[in-house]
Structure 1
């Protein structure tokens, strides 16, 4: 080989890509319009693909497929100024995208988007691999996100247990082919959007070199997010391991952890501790202190409901401590509407809708009627905690959860060379370490809750697909039942 050829090879650059998947019909429609009626502005095809990708994998989570997307994030991903807006307008013009322009900044609402161009997904062959150039806006955004995470991971200030959790996650191997094969067998049970979402989750994690793999700790509430956070439970069995892996998690997680707040309230109303002394002792956890003080001040204004509160707390603790809180909620709603439609899975969605929605939510307030009739005082507490900014209650519970699971339980396990995979209130560990993990969870939970809560343990290879009910679907069901009830009454 001559010197000229060697010089040429030294200069040759290979483009780097990030792979995503989209419905073939959408990609073909976009490409046809780009050829026959191209935009009048300089565009990046990756931006078109990225916007559609953002929507199709999330539209099944939202009413009428209308997916909220923050303009701040879209500018970061697709270019500042009106760059991303031009691409959105073009997708609207060619009949792929619909945008609901109404948004209320005071309610933290974003514009909502949905795909209106029809597409069908019967198997993975109806999807096409899209290569996102790492030099495009979207490509740079993903690469920079990864670089930022790597830089943060190298910081001397990062706790050793977080570093161990992160390294363990990045060393994880995943059998993407078997995961796709299982997904194909379940195609009849999934919507097109759900299928695409699962495929993208699998692709993002199957290759450890894939730039879509991430490990991020939220700076506001401390939760750890990775690619297995959103991965369907039934797909976790494809994590490759020499040991049999067991998933161990806290039954009724957030409802159980809410007992920490209620315990403080109970101590105050029973005068086991004065407010001044409580404020002195609780200086470490400001978010809990603020929540307890807010509730207690409301109780002092209206002491008549203290009796109800004592009873509600005892009942609440009874059901949550035994891990049957969602079963009890399903009983409440079945009795209220004289039906048997509600089961544990639907009750979980009811709790999500009831506990974490705004006090003024048009969609979800109807879900709260039976619960607030049964748990009058607890219902009032939930409304008090959300009277200013309703999302603060979710943040509070996330902080409590991450403190216990990440900074207490995972730290203790990592210090003893047991490194789990983490999914919020759930840990995935080798079966040989199960006794030690269970003991650590029980000890730390009893210390903070005053009781040992119910845990569930399941081998990953025994977890099968279960339908998931979105809160909006349950809200529609309850609205229909409520209307029927009013007609009968």
Structure 2
């Protein structure tokens, strides 16, 4: 009996104006080497989708961008990767910052209306009929590109605004030649899950099997937001920021929809800080309401999480500390474990709680020489703690944040999550918080309190979102 072989595909989604611009330039013959179009598509997709991850905290930033190391590009695309990057940069499809020795190059997508303007110039220059050249496209049997239907486009009166949420669905047949760059990330995650400690292995398998969004509702939500905000846009800058936010969220939603089959679900350990990174950790908080079954889940969050992690670090200094340092740590410990650290900063700086959170991020995670005015205020009240904080950032200011997130991972992933799984509760995680079934609320709170008390000596404030 002949064995049935099933064809596997990878699905990508790209903005219409970017893909039209790329295909137009390939059609004209501007590529001077023998290329595989899948590589162009996946490089652009990398910048678009990884930007949502890399720049999550500022999703309305003006550009999509991502650092792409030459070693990563070589492993993923082979020795010919410079030809693809050079074409994309020289033809204005992407752009990059200046190269600095020892630093990874950042690659950017342009604002979307740039591609429309550029394509229109080429239509005129090469005397091409724009209407005839429009997709749907088909590349033999290996790639199919079709427009994504968008009912809300009918509600957008201005054509210039409409281009921002026109997208293409790209279906690529996976074969032995393109497998390494179409599915390598998913397969790498599979190796991690299969070789991870028992509790992480169970979490990874559970996440891949069960994590889903109410796809259509989530799409309607972000489209309604987009339509509302784009109607209020008075400048191109504002319009492009709204667009960037929309495309980031759209990329996140599309990556989750049928993500297991499309190889777009993410579950891996970040080597720099030991955090578990997933589609959920990258998802905008407003979109969590669309997680399938979310109404039957409880979300527990450690209040003042990063300042509390610093408390754990400060405990290592307490034993041999002088009297002044012990007094400072006692004061810091009290405010952080009681969930009142940002309120403490409010009093020191006479600002709002939200401003205090932003202020702490700037002080704690920036280079020592930056924000000196703000840091001097903190230094006046906590000179000993400030000296410890700055000592972790002498060589590299990122070392301090990595240290805190490593502690966080030890507490949450290796402590709380391990114990939860041992008790038959498999959680979703968002770094310093866990999402569990409501029926397991009490047990989860008990376990979180127990593990946190082991590290802190007291149970800090745990809030339910």
- What are the Cα deviations for residues 319-372 of structure 1, in whole angstroms up to 9, with x where unaligned? 211212234334444x3xxxx5x542x4333333332233356xx666644433
* Separation in 2, partners of 1:64, 1:103: 23
Structure 1 residue runs of 4+, over 6 Å off? none
Normalising by the residue count of structure 1, what TM-score does the alignment of the two structures yield?
A: 0.73
What is the DSSP-based 3-state SS (H/G/I as helix, E as strand, rest coil) of the residue aligned with 1:240? coil
2:414 corresponds to which residue? 407
> Are the counterparts in 1 of residues 193 and 268 from structure 2 also a CA contact under 8 Å?
no
Q: Say if 2:218 is the partner of 1:179.
A: yes
Match among 179, 193, 203 for residue 165 of structure 1: 203
Q: 2:245 matched to 1:253?
A: no
Task: List per-residue Cα deviations over 1:391-425 (Å, max 9, x = no partner).
Answer: 32222212211111111111111111111111111
Query: Does 214-223 or 395-404 show the bigger shift?
Result: 214-223
Counterparts of 1:16 and 1:397, CA distance in 2: 41
> How far 1:125 sits from its partner (Å)?
4.1
Q: Is the 8 A contact 1:134 1:140 kept in 2?
A: no
In structure 2, C-alpha distance between the alignment counterparts of 1:422 and 1:180, rounded to whole Å: 23
SS at match of 2:89: helix
Q: Distance in 1 between matches of 2:98 and 2:401?
A: 27
1:361-440 pair list within 5 angstroms: 368-440=375-447
Q: Check conservation: 2:337, 2:459, Cα contact below 8 A.
A: yes
CA pair 373-18 structure 1, distance change in 2 beyond 3 A: farther
Q: Is 1:93 matched with 2:90?
A: yes
Provide structure 1 residue ranges, at least 5 long, that are not aligned to the other structure. 1-5, 271-305, 459-489
| Structure 2: gaps spanning 5 or more residues | 114-159, 230-240
> What is the CA–CA distance in structure 2 between the aligned matches of 1:184 and 1:396, rounded to whole Å?
39
Q: Which residue of 2 aligns with 1:324?
A: 340
Question: What secondary structure, in the 3-state scheme, does the structure 1 residue paired with 2:96 have?
Answer: strand
Quote the residue 2:248 is aligned against. Answer: 197
Choose which of 83, 99, 114 in structure 2 pairs with 1:102: 99
Q: Is the 2:193–2:205 Cα contact (8 Å) retained in structure 1?
A: no
Taking the aligned partners of 1:75 and 1:354, their CA distance within structure 2 comes to 37
- CA distance, structure 1, for counterparts of residue 164 and residue 95 of structure 2: 25
TM-score (norm 2): 0.77
Match of 1:146 in 2: 186
Does structure 2 conserve the Cα–Cα contact (< 8 Å) formed by 1:133 and 1:139? no
Secondary structure of the 2:281 match is helix
C-alpha distance 224-117 of structure 1, shift in aligned 2 (>3 A) = closer
Instruction: Return closer, same or farther for 1:186/1:76 CA change in 2, 3 Å cut-off.
Output: farther
Residue 98 of structure 1: CA displacement?
2.2
Q: Distance in 2 between matches of 1:136 and 1:368?
A: 55
Q: Which sits farther off after the overlay, 162-171 or 111-120?
A: 111-120
- Answering whether residue 265 of structure 2 is matched by residue 235 of structure 1, we say no
Q: 1:141 to 1:31 in 2, by over 3 A?
A: closer
Shift of residue 85, structure 1, vs aligned partner: 2.2
1:103–1:406 distance in 2 versus 1, CA, 3 Å: same
Q: Aligned pair in 2 of structure 1 residues 45, 117: CA closer, same or farther (>3 Å)? A: farther
Measure the CA separation in 2 of the matches of 1:88 and 1:420.
Answer: 40
Question: Which residue of 2 is the match for residue 44 of structure 1?
Answer: 36
Aligned length: 398
Q: Distance in 2 between matches of 1:267 and 1:191?
A: 51
Q: What's 2:363 paired with?
A: 354
Tell which deviates more after alignment, 241-250 or 255-264: 241-250
**RMSD between aligned residues:** 3.0
Alpha-carbon spacing, 1:367–1:134, altered in 2? closer, same or farther (3 Å): farther
Give the C-alpha shift of residue 449 in structure 1: 0.6
Q: Distance in 1 between matches of 2:372 and 2:68?
A: 24
Q: Match for residue 478 of structure 1?
A: none
CA distance in 1, matches of 2:376, 2:7: 57
Please state if 1:131 is matched with 2:171.
yes
